[in-house]
Chains A and B, each alone.
Chain A
Amino acid sequence: MVIYTIYVVSKSGGLIFNHDHTISKIENEKTFSYPLDLKLKYENKRIIVEFGQRDGIRPGHVLYAVNGKEVTNCQIDDGQDVFEVLENKDQYPLTLKFGRPKMTTNEKIFLASMFYPLFAIASQLSPEPKCSGIEILEADTFKLYCFQTLTGVKMMAVADKNQSGVELLLKKIYELYADYALKNPFYSLEMPIRCELFETNLKSVLDVVEKSGVSSI
């Protein structure tokens, strides 16, 4: 049972706090011979697998390194173009490292603000009157819990599907937010939370919940 990430989103939809609790890195390094049995393409400033799947490498994974040298944009660290290297028969065998794309802070901010309209539309499209927004969203790999406070701040947790008591955990996080962020005289509303006490307390609560369940907080 695992809690992956915690997000706190302000009333206006901006990400004011996020914390990665357990994030497993998915990375695979393999030696390839010519011709390459994966189809790669350049998209959003990185090289991703478009088609083909083997040894844990799946479509959507990003090319991180060629022969141990890191790839930035479309170039290897020594200035060579990745696609030129990949098409050159003489360079093989090549060792390529692929991995699931890591989320950058910008992407997290983008995703947090993307949840805001989804939340609103879900309540608008409701077949029943007086309906709230999304409270739980389940996919095959995780479950996302969202708790909206009366003041419009959203506490969100991405957790394992079998993790129980996440609703109570979110209320506890709200309590921590009220105690350590809001009572901090240097914190201004709607701004990113940079309070050490909040973060350390949050971490310890997450650890306790993972180890011994919600009843012990």
Chain B
Amino acid sequence: MTIHNIYIFNKNGNLLYYHEWNRIKQTGMTRDEEAKLMYGMLFSIKSFVNKISPTDPKEGFLYYKTSKYTLHYFETLTGLKFVLTTDNNAQLVRELLQQIYNQVYVEYVVKNPLISLSEPIESEIFKIKLDALIRQSSIFISKAA
């Protein structure tokens, strides 16, 4: 099992944070363009899910799976979006995303008055804590190790 990368978007679709752990293939475009493409896809999936759903959705889109990876999506009520890609066997990724929001984002970004909430996150402590949380989770086993 492995975790590939994480994207954090704010409600306007700006990329706040990106980090990768085990990413083998790059898209060949700049990070900025890639983030726009990713956000555009998620935005479309959200409206697609809303329309195609047989009953009234509450949380809406949860994840999608391809032959090689799974993309997990978690959106807070304030419109903050956490996107984590893992391999197809990963379990309980939703709980991990919630932990990232509760224990890392709220603690080290929201509670830090020096960080503007609409700017990309540069905080060193946020990066360290996020990395630590991901690395100690049971989903994260590096392929190199």
A residues at B contact (CB < 8 Å): 4-5, 23-24, 26, 58, 60, 100, 103, 107, 111, 114-115, 117-118, 121-142, 144, 158
Contacts and interface: CB of A to CB of B under 8 A. Distances in A.
Contact of B48 (A23, A114, A132): A114
A134 B68 contact: no
Given A131-B66, A133-B66, A140-B62, A126 B41 contact: no
A123 B71 CA distance: 11
Ordered nearest first, which 5 A-B pairs have the shortest CB separation? A127-B4, A132-B67, A131-B68, A128-B68, A137-B64
Nearest to A158: B52
Contacts of B65: 134-138
Given A122-B64, A136-B64, A141 B53 contact: yes
B89 interface: no
Contacts of B23: 127
B5 interface: yes
A126 B69 contact: yes
Given A136-B65, A139-B61, A125 B34 contact: yes
A26 B53 CA distance: 12
- Residue among B4, B59, B65 with the highest chain A CB neighbour number at 10 A: B65
Nearest to A160: B54
Interface of B: 4-5, 20, 22-25, 27, 34, 37-38, 40-41, 44-45, 48-69, 71, 85
Contact of A138 (B25, B34, B58, B62): B62
Contact of A129 (B25, B49, B51, B71): B25
Contacts of B22: 127
- Residue among B22, B60, B64 with the highest chain A CB neighbour number at 10 A: B64
B49 A139 contact: yes
A144 B55 contact: no
Contact of A126 (B25, B50, B62): B25
B44 A125 contact: no
B28 to A, nearest CB: 9
16 contacts: A60-B50, A103-B51, A121-B41, A124-B27, A126-B25, A127-B4, A127-B22, A133-B66, A136-B65, A137-B45, A139-B59, A139-B62, A140-B59, A141-B54, A141-B55, A142-B52
A111 B55 contact: no
Contacts of B4: 127-128
Contacts of B41: 117-118, 121-122, 125
A126 B50 CA distance: 24
A23 B68 CA distance: 32
Given A26-B55, A122-B41, A125-B41, A132 B49 contact: no
A58 B60 CA distance: 15
B37 A124 contact: yes
A59 B48 CA distance: 17
A169 to B, nearest CB: 17
Given A139-B59, A140-B58, A140-B62, 11 more contacts: A111-B52, A118-B44, A121-B40, A122-B71, A124-B37, A128-B24, A128-B68, A132-B67, A138-B62, A141-B54, A158-B52
